[in-house]
Amino acid sequence: MLVLGAVCAPVVVPMANAQTKSVAESAALRVLCDGEAKDAEVFVDAQFKGECPVDITLAAGSHAIRVVKKIGDTRERVFEQTVRVAGGTAKRIEVALGPETLTAGGERIEATRRQQAAVEAERQAQVRRRAAEEQARVDNAAYTQSVAAQRQRVDPVVDGLLAELRARGAAPTADCPDCPRGVRPGARVDTDVPPAPDAGMAEWLQKARTEVVSYVGEEGASFRPPSQAIAMPCEGAFEAMRKLAGLTDMGDMSASDRKAMLAQPGMSADYLSYLRDIRIWPVQATCSQGVLNGPLELWGFGNSVWSSQGMVNVGPRLVHVRGTVVGGKPAGPWYVATRTGSSLTRYADASTDAMMRKGMQGDPSESFMVIYSEGDQMQSRSASISVALFANSDVQKYSGGLKASFTRPTSANTAESLGYDGLRLASRTLMKDGKLHGPMTIYGYTRPGGFLLPDTKYPTSVTCFRDGKAVQLDPCRMD
């Protein structure tokens, strides 16, 4: 008995103490669920404890509660909360489920679906691109074939008109090494430049005005003649120079742009416009990695032809370009002089042709423009100054004189352009993201006398634009 009692006595008391201590160190947690949360799975510290509602016994301390309601195979609604409980206490939580989200498996499925969708979208885009390229190829081939067929009819007429112009000696020609000048009426360019938006641009404009006067008044003083031409510096330089000189026509347009142009009101189905007899004389040019880079000076020539509804017109054009190119694109000041000879028009109807030839056809003209720009796209600022000269004194009085324009950014995606005729503000245009946006104002003026329009008053006009399209809005504002 002593042995048995000695064995039992020390065992019973410690067990009672352990149970009391366990109760004192545990806590009760009731997780309540109502409505949509009913039967949701309850996890405590990532351990499943049952479906909601549920009573749970926890050790004292902090615990992470997570309640999950499955919605199908890939989505779930979740409630999460961290609770701190003390031993010997009871606490309850009312579950409010969050919005639907993807489960981990659902996220993997969705990621796979998005990847497959992206692959399919790219495949379809490639199909569309190939279809568009093929359609453009077909359209360009059809256009080239159409132009070739029309030129068989038009070119003989053009040859006759050019022979008449050459006989007059009134136009530059493609076969002359030094490209005879257009018109040099000896007019003075003495108009002051208008106020510029900032001091840097004002300084540039004064230099540009000096350049205009020098170019117009001192023939040959500021450029190299075509007789000093050098060889093309690299493959593809001819085409690059042709485009830099502005000797482009409808063949340089995309098939879609060409189709849109021909679809405009007033355009006839047989309209044809092209350049022929194109010549390029580079007098300073270098290439880097097959692209024009560095100082560039060139002369370009082309006979500009258009034909429509029984009329054929031709006008020789001589272009002189100076500037700097970086990566094949103009950078900094860009000088462009264009000399246009007398243009002639031949009419299919003999009586109309005879009548029109009695009047003035195409006044020989010469224009010179200096363009300056810096920056990139909408963050750029630019200015140009130009003068136009004509052999006919009346035309010169009406159309000649110094003209200037400025474009400058007004915000990250907006810009303003100002146009001047001498010192008179002639126009103001606003742009947004590279498109006309807001009021375009053409300021009115009175011209006492002048060519064709004596004593005529021009009222100020305002056209409202939104994203490049004219709209009817009053008032018109840039928003």
Structural domains of the chain, with CATH: 25-102 (2.60.40), 176-422 (no CATH)
Where b means 16+ CB within 10 Å and e means fewer, 302-328 reads: bbbbbbeeebbbbbbbbbbbbbebeeb
C-alpha distance from residue 60 to each of 21, 32, 87, 90, 175 (Å): 12, 20, 5, 11, 102
The residue ranking higher by pLDDT, 151 or 376, is 151
The residue ranking higher by pLDDT, 436 or 377, is 436
Cβ atoms within 10 Å, residue 5: 9
Closest among 96, 95, 84, 34 to 59, alpha carbons compared:
84
From the number of C-beta atoms within 10 Å of its C-beta (0-12, 13-18, 19+), residue 413 rates as middle
Structure tokens at 126: 């490639």
Residue type, 214: S
Predicted confidence band at 172 (pLDDT cuts at 50, 70, 90)? low
- The SS3 call for residue 392 is coil
Contact 376, 409 (CB under 8 A): no
Taking all residues of the chain, what is their mean pLDDT, rounded to a whole number?
81
**Chain segment 194-240, per-residue pLDDT in tens:** 888 788 888 888 888 887 777 766 554 566 778 888 999 999 999 99
What's the confidence (pLDDT) of residue 6? 36
**Chain segment 256-269, per-residue pLDDT in tens:** 788 888 888 778 87
- Residues whose CB is less than 8 angstroms from the CB of residue 374 and which lie 6 or more positions away in sequence, other chains included: 332, 380, 381, 382
What's the confidence (pLDDT) of residue 449? 47
Where b means 16+ CB within 10 Å and e means fewer, 128-166 reads: eeeeeeeeeeeeeeebeeebeeebeebbebbeebbeebb
What's the confidence (pLDDT) of residue 121? 94
Which range, of 150-159, 330-339, 396-405, averages the lowest pLDDT? 396-405
pTM, entire model: 0.64
DSSP class of 25: H
